[in-house]
Amino acid sequence: MSPVTERTPVHLPSGVSLEQVNGTEALVINTPAARAVLHLDGAHLTSWTPAGEQDVLWLSELSEYGDGAAIRGGIPLVGPWFGPGRSGDKPVKHGWIRNHPWELTEASFDGKDVVLELALVDADPSGGGLRADARFRIGAELSVDLTLTAGAQEVEVEAALHTYLAVADVRELRIHGLQGADYLDNTQGLAEDRQEDTALELTGPTDRIYSVNSEVRIEDVAGGRSIVSCPRGTAKTVVWNPWPELAAGMADMPDDAWTSFVCVEPAVAKESAQVLRSGGALTIGVTYRVER
């Protein structure tokens, strides 16, 4: 983890530039291996397009940006709690780290990949001093790692990489790697259920927290490609799509856009939440690749 120094400008290597995107500051990556957009607000990657591919991340054309907004799409970094938190009464859904501007601490090349590190310090509204760090490795594959480090106070944390994957039609997916897994169904008051021994096919509003920490392959049948999600340091895989009834109530998403994405989210949540003592850290991560 790189220290955050007082506004020391980080040198940007060629292929990386700081630009205004949708009215806010973002790092724009354009290399032979990939193109990507990483907003400083929320350390939020909104686009990753490996060479020869279409964007792997979905982004709402009605998303809000700036000043505490949560960008709708891309990879929201979620923490230090998931959803309304384990107690169910947290004031901000999915925690506060996605609602603050982060600071770039490192930008470099490692082979053909761009490596970007960002930090969020002194933003913990509880006064507990929790810090967040994120590391992105952007190339033919994409790796994202999120670390939450407790400050002076002990704290229980949840975390997730709330990735919106772009698909041709969410109704024509086969999601492999969840077979036989237990899950909590958030459309049924967190009722316990179990996935059949078949790939998951979405047929209605889906909001499930699977007890799965291994590779998941999203077979985009209509799009002719698979996106492989390889998590690390996690305990859960959340699968979410609002379907039209819930999408219609979301102002930052066009009514018909729900068909174009599925959220598959590596997470530490619910009973897998971790208690961090002062200085203790939780790191979760994921690597994505596209297969044709």
Q: Give catalytic residues, as residue numbers.
A: 162, 265
The answer to whether 82 and 155 are in contact (CB under 8 A) is no
For ligand BG6, which residue of 113, 124, 133, 265 counts as binding (CB under 6 A)?
A: 265
Minimum Å distance from CB 31 to ligand BG6? 30
For ligand BG6, which residue of 96, 102, 136, 240 counts as binding (CB under 6 A)?
A: 240
Q: Does 93 bind ligand BG6 (CB under 6 A)?
A: yes
Q: Which is nearer to ligand BG6, 162 or 217 (CB)?
A: 162
Minimum Å distance from CB 161 to ligand BG6? 10
Minimum Å distance from CB 263 to ligand BG6? 6
Q: Does 83 bind ligand BG6 (CB under 6 A)?
A: yes
**Bridge partners, 109 (sequence order):** 114
Minimum Å distance from CB 152 to ligand BG6? 29
Binding mask 123-162 for ligand BG6 (x = CB under 6 A): ---------------------------------------x
For ligand BG6, which residue of 39, 94, 217, 236 counts as binding (CB under 6 A)?
A: 94
Binding mask 43-82 for ligand BG6 (x = CB under 6 A): ---------------------------x------------
Residues 162-181 that bind ligand BG6 (CB under 6 A): 162
Residues 112, 148, 2, CA angle at the centre, nearest 5°?
A: 50
Minimum Å distance from CB 30 to ligand BG6? 28
DSSP string, the chain: -PPPPTTPPPPPPTTEEEEEETTEEEEEEE-SSEEEEEETBTTEEEEEEETTS--SB-B-TT---STTPPPSBSB-EE-SSSTT-TTS--SSTT-SGGGSB-EEEEEEEETTEEEEEEEE-S--TTSS--EEEEEEEESSSEEEEEEEE--SS-EEE-EEE--EEE-S-GGGEEEES-TT-EEEEGGGTTEEEE--SS-B---S-EEEEE---S-EEEEETTTTEEEEEEEES-SEEEEEE-HHHHHTT-TTS-TTGGGGEEEEEEEE-GGG-EEEPTT-EEEEEEEEEEE-
How far is it, in rounded angstroms, from Cα 291 to Cα 217?
10
For ligand BG6, which residue of 41, 158, 207, 220 counts as binding (CB under 6 A)?
A: 207
Minimum Å distance from CB 211 to ligand BG6? 15
The answer to whether 175 and 228 are in contact (CB under 8 A) is no
Q: Does 211 bind ligand BG6 (CB under 6 A)?
A: no
Q: Which is nearer to ligand BG6, 38 or 267 (CB)?
A: 267
Q: Does 186 bind ligand BG6 (CB under 6 A)?
A: yes
Tokens representing residue 11 in the block: 């040198």
For ligand BG6, which residue of 119, 120, 238, 284 counts as binding (CB under 6 A)?
A: 238
Q: Which residues bind ligand BG6 (CB under 6 A)?
A: 70, 83, 93-94, 162, 186, 207, 238, 240, 263, 265
